[in-house]
Structure 1
Amino acid sequence: MSNAAQVKVPATYMRGGTSKGVFFRLEDLPAAARQPGHARDRLFQRVIGSPDPYAKHTDGMGGATSSTSKCVILSPSAQPDHDVDYLYGQVSIDTDFVDWSGNCGNLSTAAGAFAVHAGYVDPARIPANGSVAVRIWQANIGKTIIAHVPITDGQVQETGDFELDGVTFPAAEIVLEFLDPAEDDDNGGALFPTGNLIDELEVPGIGRFQATLINAGIPTIFLNAADIGYTGSELQEAINSDAAALARFETIRAWGAVQMGLIRDVAEAATRQHTPKVAFVAPPAAYTASSGRQVRAEDIDLRVRALSMGKLHHAMMGTAAVAIGTAAAIPGTLVNLAAGGGERQAVRFGHPSGTLRVGAEARLEHGQWRVTKAIMSRSARILMSGWVHVPGDAF
């Protein structure tokens, strides 16, 4: 019996924000994987090393966390006035599933830098020194992101002194603008899918909670930490080591998804693991971050903890940060109230690894809230480039 030889696929391993993933140019993928479907999913699962019942990703490029089980495809944009189309796949760690339902805000940073590296940005627009505004079409959700990528000697500047909590080493700052980040009515829901700033979310067998359900950056369910038995200063171990707590959060997420109109029945939540997110908020208070750093109450506007793919995130997902900034800008949401209420255009929140500032522009139009832009800074860096090898019969 003969075994299939390995095939090699050109790929780049990149960190973007507090995530990392394997990046591909569409034209470099095997022919069968250039279209959405089974072959593409299988290829990406094998690249990452999923599904892995040991939850280690020993036989793949993944890191066995939601932040490191990611694949990205970029291609020249089919959209007018855009440089690149960016498609993101969240690969489940231990189940047979690739979720294409949302974006990764952290890897959006790397998508901008990769677009320049890959030759997708017109060389005439790239200065010798300065920055280039890379217009990205986020194909999962149909939104525009502008990444302001620093350039030195005509190349992407990756090293620098910009520090991002949750990332060990400093790098060059990339400013991201998420334009019109809320979902459109004809694309699956309004900014507030129920029409309310605060809803009553009833979860059978668990309880009834106040919740802000918002579609901005990524669909997110915000809860008050105190309502679900937490302080808002928890680190990963406090929640991720508690199987019962994780099960409760997943049940809350499923019922929230139904109330947001993302799924019809809670059973469908198992096939939509990436969205919505669940986050809980609390007013500012001092706490010790996972690095041992002391976060002072006076340095933050509120505390936020968020779950991704069933586990508490070690920092904050970029798309969830957009949701936080948007909700904070709108008086009366749970996020806004935790930050002290009132109007604001930016918020600095505390997360398990430290703090993050995000800005948002929101305004009331004809009785409906509209967010025009969310802004934050991240960084990105190539970790390795070359080829990723997978068995030829894997896809």
Structure 2
Amino acid sequence: MSHLPQIKIPATYIRGGTSKGVFFRLQDLPASAQIPGAARDALLLRVIGSPDPYGKQIDGMGGATSSTSKTVILSKSSQADHDVDYLFGQVAIDKAFVDWSGNCGNLSAAVGSFAISGGLVDANRIPQNGIATVRIWQANIAKTIIAHVPMTNGEVQETGDFELDGVTFPAAEVQLEFMDPAAEEEGGGGAMFPTGNLVDDLEVPGIGTLKATMINAGIPTIFVNAADIGYTGTELQDAINSDAKALAKFETIRAYGAVRMGLIKHIDEAANRQHTPKVAFVAPPAAYVSSSGKPVNVADIDLLVRAMSMGKLHHAMMGTAAVAIGTAAAIPGTLVSLAAGGGEQNNAARTAVRFGHPSGTLRVGAQASQDPISGTWSVTKAIMSRSARVLMEGWVRVPGDTF
């Protein structure tokens, strides 16, 4: 029996925000994987080490969590006034499935630096020292992200003193602007609030009727009140992820919410759309001890948020979900705004919010305004700071019969 040798593909392993992923330039992929389809998906699955019935991704680059089972493909932009096209693939751990339905806000922090280092940004747009402004076209959701990348002596600056809860070591700050972050999804007819309401009664069989804010901003997200599902909002990962009944409950909420948002037509379709929508639960501020042992004081935060990603409670907060949080907090009457102390009748938009998550706190801002005639809310951009660092670069290897 003959065996094909392994092939090697140029790749870079990068931490972006509180996630890690394998980054590729489109031009470096094998020809059959340069176009969307089965060959590309098979390649990325093998690179990451999925599907793995053991749930460990030992035979690949994945880290057996939703935060570390990620891939990114970049190319020079095909869009006017943009530098780079950014495509994100969320790789399932135990299934042969790559979800292309949404963005990764955390890895967005690494796109600008990788694009500069990879020669995908015109040299005349890169200062020798200072801040490089990289215009990113997020191809999954057809939205613009502006990354402000620090440069020192002609190279991307990765080290610094910016601290991000959920990341052990400090690094250089990268500010991200998510332009017009609402209504990027195909569901809900392109509306920020696909049901037309800031708060809905979401009927979930076996659980009850829950108050829910369902929003398309950053990533489609279903917000519910922690107290309504038996939580305080101070929970850490083990409290949720070690409870099979809790995980099943959140998946049920997600499936029925996805139908209400118009993202799927039947709850059975949710299994093939793991990346979106997200489910998060909110609560008013309370003191707790983060997963690192760091105390979080009531005075440090405006509210508590915990979010599910790929069927598990996230160890910190997904960047795209943070955009959803900032957007919803800016609009009076949503569950997020109410948890942060906003009143339903207070029409003053909140420009920034700091929320507590399992690893600590995060601040995110959003610019929102309300049409005085229609009463419709719109958000021009959401802003937050992350960091990114190259961990390894060279080639990944996969068996020659992978795709």
Identify the TM-score tier after normalising by the shorter chain. over 0.9
The residue that corresponds to 2:353 in the other structure is 347
The residue that corresponds to 1:336 in the other structure is 337
Residue 189 (structure 1) shift: 2.6
- Aligned partners of 1:185, 1:304: CA distance in 2, in Å? 23
The residue that corresponds to 2:317 in the other structure is 316
- The answer as to whether partners of 2:274 and 2:310 remain within 8 angstroms in 1 is yes
The residue that corresponds to 1:209 in the other structure is 210
Q: Which runs of 5+ in 2 are unaligned?
A: none
- The answer as to whether partners of 2:184 and 2:216 remain within 8 angstroms in 1 is no
The residue that corresponds to 1:360 in the other structure is 366
Runs of 4+ in 1 over 2 A off after TM superposition: 184-189
The residue that corresponds to 1:261 in the other structure is 262
Residue identity in the other structure for 1:309: M
- The answer as to whether partners of 2:143 and 2:184 remain within 8 angstroms in 1 is no
**1:40 is aligned to 2:46:** no
- Aligned partners of 2:186, 2:337: CA distance in 1, in Å? 27
CA deviations on 1:227-280 (whole Å, 9 max, x unpaired) are: 000000000000000001000100100000000000000000001000000000
Residue identity in the other structure for 1:85: D
The residue that corresponds to 2:381 in the other structure is 373
- The answer as to whether partners of 2:185 and 2:220 remain within 8 angstroms in 1 is no
The residue that corresponds to 1:79 in the other structure is 79
CA deviations on 1:82-141 (whole Å, 9 max, x unpaired) are: 000000000000011100000000000111111111111111121111001100000000
CA deviations on 1:58-104 (whole Å, 9 max, x unpaired) are: 00000000000000000000000000000000000001110000000
TM-score by length of 2: 0.97
Residue identity in the other structure for 1:385: E
TM-score by length of 1: 0.99
Report the more deviating stretch, 366-375 or 295-304.
Answer: 366-375
Q: Which runs of 5+ in 1 are unaligned?
A: none
Residue identity in the other structure for 2:382: A
Q: Give matches, 1:162-177, under 5 Å.
A: 162-177=162-177
- Aligned partners of 2:278, 2:171: CA distance in 1, in Å? 28
Q: Give matches, 1:214-253, under 5 Å.
A: 214-253=215-254
The residue that corresponds to 1:274 in the other structure is 275
The residue that corresponds to 2:394 in the other structure is 386
**1:148 is aligned to 2:148:** yes
The residue that corresponds to 2:29 in the other structure is 29
- Aligned partners of 1:166, 1:356: CA distance in 2, in Å? 10
- Aligned partners of 1:362, 1:309: CA distance in 2, in Å? 29
Q: Residue 256 of structure 1 aligns to a residue in which SS? A: helix
Report the more deviating stretch, 364-373 or 278-287.
Answer: 364-373
Q: Residue 222 of structure 1 aligns to a residue in which SS? A: strand
Residue identity in the other structure for 2:283: A
Q: Residue 107 of structure 2 aligns to a residue in which SS? A: helix
Residue 186 (structure 1) shift: 7.2
Report the more deviating stretch, 37-46 or 365-374.
Answer: 365-374
Change (3 A) 1:313 1:387: same
Residue 26 (structure 1) shift: 0.2
Residue 183 (structure 1) shift: 1.2
- Aligned partners of 2:13, 2:241: CA distance in 1, in Å? 27
Residue 206 (structure 1) shift: 1.4
The residue that corresponds to 2:327 in the other structure is 326
**1:305 is aligned to 2:306:** yes
**1:57 is aligned to 2:63:** no
Aligned residue-pair number: 395
**1:284 is aligned to 2:285:** yes
The residue that corresponds to 2:115 in the other structure is 115
Change (3 A) 1:314 1:185: closer
CA deviations on 1:329-380 (whole Å, 9 max, x unpaired) are: 0000000000000431000000000000000001112321111000000000
- Aligned partners of 1:88, 1:186: CA distance in 2, in Å? 17
Change (3 A) 1:185 1:58: closer
Report the more deviating stretch, 359-368 or 169-178.
Answer: 359-368
Q: Taking every aligned residue pair, what percent have the same amino acid on both sides?
A: 76
Q: Give matches, 1:92-103, under 5 Å.
A: 92-103=92-103
- Aligned partners of 1:221, 1:242: CA distance in 2, in Å? 21
Residue identity in the other structure for 1:297: V
- The answer as to whether partners of 2:185 and 2:216 remain within 8 angstroms in 1 is no
**1:200 is aligned to 2:208:** no
Residue identity in the other structure for 2:389: R
The residue that corresponds to 1:182 in the other structure is 182
Residue identity in the other structure for 1:92: A
CA deviations on 1:28-57 (whole Å, 9 max, x unpaired) are: 000110000000000000000000000001
Change (3 A) 1:134 1:62: same
Report the more deviating stretch, 359-368 or 13-22.
Answer: 359-368
Residue 185 (structure 1) shift: 8.5
- Aligned partners of 2:127, 2:115: CA distance in 1, in Å? 15
Report the more deviating stretch, 72-81 or 199-208.
Answer: 199-208
